[in-house]
Amino acid sequence: MANNINRREFIKRSAATGAGAGLTLGMNRRTEAAFNNTDSPNGRIAIGFIGTGARAHQVMGDVLKLPGFEVVALCDAYKGRLGHAAELTKGRAKVYKDHRELLAAPGIDAVYIGTPDHLHKQHAIAALEAGKDVYIEKPLTYTAAEGLEIIAAVKKTGRILQVGSQNISAPSQIKAKEIVASGRLGQITMIRATVNRNTAGGAWIYPIPPDANPETVNWEMFLGSAPKHPFSLERFFRWRCYEDYSGGMATDLFVHVMTTIHFVMGAQAPDMVTAAGSLYRWKGSRDVPDTLDAIMQYPEGFTVNLSGTFNNQSAGERGIQILGTKGTLTLGRDLIFTPDYPVEDNEWIVDSWPSELQKAYYNDPKVIAAEMPRRWEPKVIEGEERWGSVGPDSTTLHFQNFQTAVKERKQPVEDVYAGHRAAAVAHMINWSAKHKKPVYWDRSRDNVKA
Ligand SMILES: NC(=O)c1ccc[n+]([C@@H]2O[C@H](COP(=O)([O-])OP(=O)(O)OC[C@H]3O[C@@H](n4cnc5c(N)ncnc54)[C@H](O)[C@@H]3O)[C@@H](O)[C@H]2O)c1
């Protein structure tokens, strides 16, 4: 196979794709002032962090480098991380007792929400109602029904909300969307995707900081409205392992994949989801599955086959393959287009015919053009195309997308609807695996069928 690798650079990227569903947007006085530069000294977005955990630290690293933002406020339920985040801002951000105090403080335009999943709805709605624009981590929700409540709050308040599956702001995923829309893949009827890991850290058994104890960890603040449970450092620092706070693999990892698939395919939600899975290996550390296999059927005419395990990674760690009649698009470290050259080969059938008929068949120019029996020269198969990424990382790009949305008062690329629907698929996968039944989407309610 000729390997004609064409490595392009993705320095330029599309502007905000405007995937929003036309919400009515408003500005509060401070935001207006900040962006028409009448009384804002620097026109920057003053942002507060609700949750300064592991992901928030990564995000803050990027946001602190972005010229359009100023990190002005922080709150968290564990002193160690709060202190470290405050250091990162060189003491410029003010530390607040909790999200309520932070949201009541003057001078904050927007918030980043990086708390555990079961707190997302509470923190998002409180922030929207306090007049803040919101960048919230994936998954938007802890249950599918919460999505509708957050959508209603965005509509009511007219604030901007971006959900944090940052990969869809990566140039490779924007390019993938263009390739799919161009028809270059032919008819797409299947997508295969996988997310596999085989380490304790990959399975969320994270190290617990040695100074964590009931004095440094605010257990009640962490619990929120979750079921009461005695103080547990495992639950606090490894909350993804427990259904009380998380949907496990589906809401932590599959939600990124589903966001990408919806974005690239221009799809909203599947008609049906069916899944199987269980906790086979990491027993004693969790109550969520470590292995999940899910099938989604989309009204656009394709199925998605999405699997994940924490018990192997040599079979392929992660990636998405979009399978079309004219080629495969693989989204992994690079974006790869591999052309499909289906060549007919009916030799074993025709060889059983009477000799005269065989001869006539093989002399037919149409057959010669279409088939590749052993006696003819193999067709030349042209090579694949591959694109690698350069430039800012996807979190920076996703935040810049949020920044543009805040300034232009237009919903960003991963608006509340996109976040709701991708998370809802993850909830459907969990429900189906648990109940061993298919589950359906109700388009009229924009939610799981009751
Ligand atoms: N976009 C991505 O690639 C990505 C990557 C990792 C995590 N995430 C998401 O980010 C979120 C946080 O994940 P993480 O890995 O940083 O977890 P984490 O446990 O490291 O951080 C969560 C933080 O929230 C704090 N917290 C708990 N209750 C709080 C409350 N009531 N008020 C304020 N702070 C509170 C905790 O003390 C902790 O510091 C999750 O929703 C997760 O799914 C996204």
**pLDDT one-digit tens code per residue, 171-205:** 999 999 999 999 999 999 999 999 999 999 999 99
- 223 band by pLDDT with thresholds 50, 70 and 90: very high
Residue 113 Cα to ligand 1 midpoint, Å, equals 8
Statement: residue 14 has pLDDT above 50: no
> Which residue among 62, 63, 74, 76 has the greatest number of ligand 1 atoms within 8 angstroms of its CB, and so is best to mutate?
76
| 374 pLDDT more than 60 | no
Measured at the alpha carbon of residue 80, what is the angle toward residues 74 and 85, in degrees to the nearest 5?
35
| pLDDT, position 301 | 98
Atom number of ligand 1 nearest to Cα 166? 1
Confidence check: pLDDT of 5 > 60: no
Distance between CA 259 and CA 421 in Å, rounded?
A: 8
Atom of ligand 1 nearest to the CA of 222: 28
Give the up-direction half-sphere exposure of residue 246: CA atoms within 13 A in the CB hemisphere: 26
Ligand 1 centroid–CA 16 distance in Å is 26
Q: Average of pLDDT values for 376-402?
A: 83
Question: How high is the pLDDT of residue 28?
Answer: 36
> Does the structure show a pLDDT above 60 at 419?
yes
Nearest CA to ligand 1 atom 32: 76
Q: Is 179 found in the same domain as 327?
A: yes
Residues 121 and 231 in one domain: no
Q: Which atom of ligand 1 is nearest to the CA of 117?
A: 41
Domain limits for position 273: 171-341+383-391+417-448
Q: Which residues of 419-429 are buried (b: 16+ CB within 10 A; e: fewer)?
A: bbbbbbbbbbb
| Residue range 202-216, pLDDT digits in tens | 999 999 999 999 999
- The answer to whether residue 7 is domain-embedded is no
Cα 115 to averaged position of ligand 1 atoms, centre (Å): 4
Ligand 1 closest atom vs CA 164: 1
Q: How far, in Å, is the centroid of ligand 1 from the Cα of 53?
A: 5
Q: How far apart are CA 417 and CA 162, in angstroms?
A: 10
- 74 C-alpha to center of ligand 1: Å? 13
Does residue 371 sit within a domain?
A: no
Q: What is the pLDDT of residue 54?
A: 98
Report residue 375's pLDDT band, with 50, 70 and 90 as the boundaries: low
Q: How confident is the model at residue 381 (pLDDT cuts 50, 70, 90)?
A: low
- The answer to whether residue 23 is domain-embedded is no
Most ligand 1 atoms within 8 A of CB, residue of 112, 137, 257 to mutate: 137
Q: Which atom of ligand 1 is nearest to the CA of 221?
A: 31
- Edge to edge, what strands does the sheet with 161-164 contain? 94-95, 69-75, 45-50, 110-113, 133-137, 161-164
Contact of 413 with 162, CB cutoff 8 Å: yes
52 and 142 housed in the same domain: yes
Question: pLDDT (tens digit, 9 = 90+) per residue, 147-165?
Answer: 999 999 999 999 999 999 9
236 falls within a domain:
yes
Is the pLDDT confidence value at 380 over 80?
Answer: no
Compute, in angstroms, the gap from residue 179 CA to the centroid of ligand 1: 34
Per-residue confidence band for 418, with pLDDT thresholds at 50, 70 and 90: very high
Average pLDDT over residues 221-232: 98
* Alpha carbon nearest to ligand 1 atom 39, residue: 53
Specify whether 183 is located in the same domain as 313.
yes
Does 158 share its domain with 191?
Answer: no
Confidence of residue 378 (pLDDT cuts 50, 70, 90): low
Give yes or no: residues 40 and 77 share one domain: yes
* Best probe residue, ligand 1, of 49, 55, 123 (max atoms within 8 Å of C-beta): 55
| pLDDT at res. 98 | 98
Residues 70-108 pLDDT 10s: 999 999 999 999 999 999 999 999 999 999 999 999 999
HEC string for the chain: CCCCCCCECCCCCCCCCCCCCCCCCCCCHHHHHHHHCCCCCCCCEEEEEECCCHHHHHHHHHHCCCCCEEEEEEECCEHHHHHHHHHHCCCCCEECCCHHHHHHCCCCCEEEECCCHHHHHHHHHHHHHCCCEEEEECCCCCCHHHHHHHHHHHHHHCCCEEEECHHHHCHHHHHHHHHHHHCCCCCEEEEEEEEECCCCCCCCCCCCCCCCCCCCECHHHHHCCCCCCCCCHHHHHCHHHCCCCCCHHHHHHHHHHHHHHHHHHCCCCCCEEEEEEECCCCCCCCCCCCEEEEEEEECCCEEEEEEEECCCCCCCCEEEEEEECCEEEEECCCEEEEECCCCECCHHHHCCCCHHHHHHHHHCHHHHHHECCCCCCCCCCCCCEEECCCCCCHHHHHHHHHHHHHHHCCCCCCCHHHHHHHHHHHHHHHHHHHHCCCEEEECCCCEECC
pLDDT-based confidence at residue 384 (cuts at 50, 70, 90): confident
With a CB cutoff of 8 Å and minimum separation 6, the contacts of 399 are: 59, 62, 63, 66, 69, 135, 166
288 vs 2, higher pLDDT: 288
pLDDT at 325 over 50: yes
Q: State the distance from the centre of ligand 1 to the C-alpha of 57, rounded, in angstroms.
A: 10
Which pLDDT score is estimated for 355? 97
**68 and 100 fall within a common domain:** yes
Q: How confident is residue 426, by pLDDT bands cut at 50, 70 and 90? A: very high
Structure tokens at 48: 């507060």
What pLDDT score does 368 carry? 85
CATH number of 274's domain: 3.30.360.10
Tell me the CATH number at 131: 3.40.50.720
Measured in angstroms, how far is the CA atom of residue 392 from the centroid of ligand 1? Answer: 23
Distance from the alpha carbon of residue 285 to the mean position of ligand 1, in angstroms = 19
Domain tally for the chain?
2
For residues 292 and 321, state if they share a domain: yes
Residue 12, in any domain of the structure: no
Whole-number pLDDT of residue 240: 98
Q: Is the peptide bond before 207 cis (omega within 30 degrees of 0)?
A: no
pLDDT at 317: 80
Look at ligand 1, atom 13, and give the residue with the nearest C-alpha: 55
List of residues 6+ apart from 106 with CB closer than 8 A = none
Interval between CA 124 and ligand 1 midpoint (Å): 14
What distance in Å separates the CA atoms of residue 429 and residue 438, rounded to the nearest whole number? 9
Give the pLDDT mean for 372-395.
75
**332 and 185 within one domain:** yes
Is it the case that residue 59 has pLDDT exceeding 70?
Answer: yes
Look over the chain and give the mean of its residue pLDDT values, rounded to a whole number: 90
Structure confidence at residue 31 (pLDDT)? 37
Closest ligand 1 atom to 251 CA: 43
Q: What residue's CA is closest to ligand 1, atom 33?
A: 76
Whether 208 and 322 map to the same domain: the answer is yes
The pLDDT score that the predictor gives to residue 155 is 98
pLDDT given for residue 25 in this prediction:
28
Q: What is the pLDDT of residues 115-143, one digit of tens each?
A: 999 999 999 999 999 999 999 999 999 99
Shared domain for 273 and 144, answered yes or no, is no
What span, in angstroms and rounded, lies between the C-alpha atoms of 3 and 419? 38
Q: Whose CA is nearest to atom 27 of ligand 1?
A: 222
Protein residues whose CB sits closer than 6 Å to any atom of ligand 1: 50-56, 75-78, 81, 98-99, 114-117, 119, 137-138, 164, 166, 221-222, 224, 252
**426-449 mean pLDDT:** 98
Task: Give phi and psi for 276, each to the nearest 5.
Answer: -140, 150
Looking from the CA of residue 236, the nearest atom of ligand 1 is 19
294 and 431 housed in the same domain:
yes
Residue 3 resides in a domain: no
Phi, psi of 297 (to 5 degrees): -115, 125
Question: From atom 38 of ligand 1, which residue's Cα is the shortest distance away?
Answer: 53
Ligand 1 centroid distance, CA of 223 (Å)? 13
